[in-house]
Structure 1
Amino acid sequence: MAKFLEYQGKEHFKKAGIPVPEGIVASTPEEVVEAARTIGKPVVVKAQVLAGGRGKAGGVKLAATPEEAGKMAEQILGMTIKGLVVKQVLVEEQLDIAQEFYAGLIINSAQDVRGPVLMFSPEGGVDIESVSEDKIATRNVDVIKGLMIHDTLDMAVSMGINGPVLRPLADVILKLYNAFRKNDCRALEINPLVLTKDGKVLAADCRMEVDDQALFRHPEFGIKIGREFLKEPTDFELMGWSFEANDFRGTSYLAEMAPPEELRKGGYVGYHGIGGGAAMLGMDALNKVGLKVADYADTSGNPTASKVYRAVKLIMSQPGIEGYFLSGFMMANQEQWHHAHGIVKALREELPKRPGFPVVLLLCGNKEKQSQEILKEGLAEFGDRVEIYDREHVYDAKFIGGRVKALVEEYRKEKAAA
């Protein structure tokens, strides 16, 4: 799912008419100081990363003055939260909180639901999973009938809400559903939804995730890669995504595991998996023999030969890699000869440029005999640095990892002697 940072989600809240605290995004301590001055009151400085647990990690800090906000920003910017580097913060007015609520929607794909589930709780500010069931009102929303204000009023009343806050809360819950539908979300949450001591209802936080398959309807989002991606994509990853952006015949997933400057230090292999389980098995095999994967690639689900070809070409384009490994540790039901054709074409173009470059191919499954013939005939001229294995070794990751290691060491010796 495509995820949005808090400040990005709150922009969509504003468009939906959901009140949010006054806030300004900043990327440097100096910008934070200026933002706090503009807001003109005590602020909270909040790390903007696509991960939960910011508060526990020290990514949310209070500041009474602009100068103090700048000091808090110095501590937060550049820190790592769950593997993600904080590059921006949201400087937001502090709220004088009287009560915290939770409101959210998710898609429940269970057969008896298959639609949005709306949730409301008078106990916000904590993980909804930790709230007892009797404190959560839920409603399976019929997407044909939609949601009406009396529905959200009933939800709030069922949780003991009454008095002047009832209507504003119900109004926000209804607008939350409308934003959920309009933006093709799979999850949209406000936690906490705050009632201030002066009677205002504000969305103090936002978690927004959009269905990848609906992103073509939302060019305004500016999403560069239409799948869950927790960091700014690299050129390698953008190129990989271009192979499948408009071609849904199988998967062609490519992700950079190390930057080019790191690859040039040596010890990295261009990695190509077929299927998630097989890919993990192959990565583990390489790690155990002291090699590292330059990339994570998965071509599965019966991709075309052209899609496989593009993936191999991109893998081989990485600077400094010392081998190419196809990890097909699976008895796949896909037509493997598509893989064979794509791999042969790519390697026949690439291997002449780098004599002695190690290649280990493990490919088995449907059309295995034909696939093996295509690989062996198409790559025969490249000698014993190209090793091809079939189902005989499908459960022998240790052996395959050892062969990759041995060929890489031979290649290194030749390069050192040259």
Structure 2
Amino acid sequence: MARLYEYQGKQILKEIGVPVPEGGVASTPQEARQIAERIGKPVAVKAQIWATGRFKAGGIKFANDPDGAEKAAEELLGAEVKGFPVEKVLVEERLDVDQEYYVGVIVDDSYKVKGPVVIFSTEGGVDIEEVAETSPEKVSRLNVDIFHGLRLYDAYNLALEVGLKGALLDPIGRAIRGTYELFKRCDARSAEVNPLILTADGKVYAADCRVSVDDASVVRHPELGITVPRESDSPPTEFDQMAWKIEEKDYRGVCFLVQMTPDTEEGGYIGYHAIGGGGALLAADTLVRHGLKLANYADTSGNPTAAKVYRCARLILSQPGLEGYCLLGAVIASQDQWHHAHGLVKAFREELADRPGFPVVILIAGNKEKEALEILREGLKDLPIRLELYGREYIHKLDFVAERMKALVEEYQIEEA
């Protein structure tokens, strides 16, 4: 699922009518200072990253004046917080907090629900799972009928169920309904306001916001600026963006390709290419258990074209410092494997002619397996590479294949040294 940054979610909440703290997003310390000057009161400077627990990790700083805001932004921008590079900060007014609540909307895929579920809790700022386990009386939930949506009285009832009443009922109820509208507007899989804040002067604000957008619906939302609509714990690298271009407008089969590390130049990494989701994970685990380091993770399944396989293989081989290429199709695939063979031959002939001794191990099984292996054998026989080909009799012998890959890599390393 693609994710939005906090400031993006808050912008949409503001459009919907849910109050958010006054503020703005900054990419430089000078911009942070200007925003703080405009606010004219103490501010919070918050690193914009895809992670929770920012405060404990030093990703949220407080400042009493524009000078302090500029200094805080200078410390955060360009730094790493919880492993994420900080490219933007949100500068917003610091709230005088009296009470924290939680509002969330998720998609429940269970057969009993198969729809959105709205969750509200009188205890915010912590994991809702923890609250539900230790204090279930503080949590209310409602399965939403998608034909009617979440009506305002539904939101009121969620708040009433956990003991809210009086003057708070209306602003809290509207914030709950607004969070559902955010979820719906973004075609989200989940949307959270945690915490929803009640200030000392009785006002309600969305103090934080997290949204995960359904990958398949990103095409409907160019305004969100999502470049790679895939689930990830970190922003896409340049490699990831190039990998997505293979898939973006070509729906013939699947090419899932992500970078595992951008630092392959240090050596010891191989390019990893697999066929078949579960088998791909099993094969990757086998290679790692045998001491091999994977520069990337790739899976070309669903009967992709030779052109798609070719583009995938070329991008894998573009990673600097690779010391091998391993394709493990650890399944009897119900797809014509000669398309893989044609794509691989073209990519290898273009990329490996000047890499003598480069190790290539391929395990491929399924429809047209015999023809695929023959295409690979004939198409690559004059390349100066270490090539080993395996068929269906080896899909249950992955440890052996992994050991062969490791041995070839070690031979190559000795030669290169």
Q: How does 1:168-179 map to 2 (within 5 A)?
A: 168-179=171-182
- Indicate yes or no: 2:87 matched with 1:87: yes
Structure 1 residue 49: Cα displacement: 0.6
**Is 1:62 equivalent to 2:62 in the alignment?**
yes
1:180-259 paired onto structure 2 within 5 Å: 180-259=183-262
Pair 1:343-2:348 in alignment: no
Asked if 1:13 is matched to 2:13, the reply is yes
- Ranges in structure 1 where 5+ consecutive residues have no aligned partner: none
Change (3 A) 1:162 1:314: same
Q: 1:254 to 1:195 in 2, by over 3 A?
A: same
Q: Judge conservation of contact 2:355–2:385 (CA < 8 Å) in 1.
A: no
User: What SS class does the counterpart of residue 301 from structure 2 fall into?
Assistant: coil
Instruction: Provide the C-alpha distance between the structure 2 equivalents of 1:162 and 1:291, rounded to a whole number of angstroms.
Output: 60
What secondary structure does 1:244 align onto? helix
Which has the higher mean CA deviation after the structures are superposed, 178-187 or 397-406? 397-406
Q: Distance in 2 between matches of 1:371 and 1:396?
A: 20
Q: How far does the alpha carbon of each residue in 1:99-139 deviate from its partner, in whole angstroms, 9 at most, with x for none?
A: 22111111111122111111112222211112232222211
How far apart, CA to CA, are the structure 2 residues paired with 1:80 and 1:88? 12
Separation in 1 of the partners of 2:399 and 2:31? 53
CA contact 2:356–2:384 (8 Å) conserved in 1: no
Equivalent pairs, count: 414
Q: Are the equivalent residues in 2 in contact too, given 1:267–1:321 (CA < 8 A)?
A: yes
- In 1, the alpha carbon distance for the partners of 2:17 and 2:393 equals 62
Instruction: Tell me which amino acid in the other structure corresponds to 2:117.
Output: V
Deviations 1:307-345 (A, max 9, x none): 212211222233332322112233444443332232233
Which residue of 2 is the match for residue 46 of structure 1? 46
Tell me the distance in 2 between the aligned counterparts of 1:202 and 1:352: 61
Contact 1:305 1:342 in 2 (8 A): yes
Cα distance in 2 for residues equivalent to 1:186 and 1:159: 25
Spell out the pairing of 1:247-396 with structure 2 (5 A cutoff): 247-259=250-262, 262-287=263-288, 291-382=292-383, 385-396=386-397
Residues 1:141 and 2:164 aligned together: no
- Alpha-carbon distance, 1:233 to partner: 2.9
4+ runs of 1 displaced by more than 6 Å? none
Q: Which moved more, 1:290-299 or 1:304-313?
A: 290-299
Q: Is this contact kept in 2: 1:101–1:124, CA < 8 A?
A: yes
What does 1:103-114 align with in structure 2 at a 5 Å threshold? 103-114=103-114
How far did 1:348 drift? 3.4
In 2, Cα distance between equivalents of 1:108 and 1:284: 30
Residues 177 and 318 of structure 1: is their aligned pair in 2 closer, same or farther, counting only changes over 3 Å? same
Residue aligning to 1:96: 96
TM superposition score normalised by structure 2: 0.90
Could you tell me how far apart the structure 2 residues matched to 1:150 and 1:37 are? 40
Q: RMSD over aligned Cα, in angstroms?
A: 2.5
Structure 1 stretch displaced more, 265-274 or 15-24: 265-274
Cα 1:235–1:70, aligned 2, differ >3 Å: closer, same or farther? closer
* Partner residue in 1 for 2:156: 153
Shift of 1:292: 3.0
Whichever residue aligns with residue 408 of structure 1, its letter is V
Paired residues for 1:19-38 under 5 Å: 19-38=19-38
> Using a 3 Å threshold, how does the CA distance of structure 1 residues 282 and 46 change in structure 2: closer, same or farther?
same
* SS of equivalent residue, structure 1 residue 346: helix
Aligned residues of 2:124 and 2:195 also touching (Cα < 8 A) = yes
5+ long unaligned stretches in structure 2: none
Alignment partner, residue 162 of structure 1:
165
Contact 2:358 2:385 in 1 (8 A): no
Give the conservation status (yes or no) of the 8 Å contact 1:43–1:91. Answer: yes
- My pick for the range that moved more, 118-127 or 368-377, is 368-377
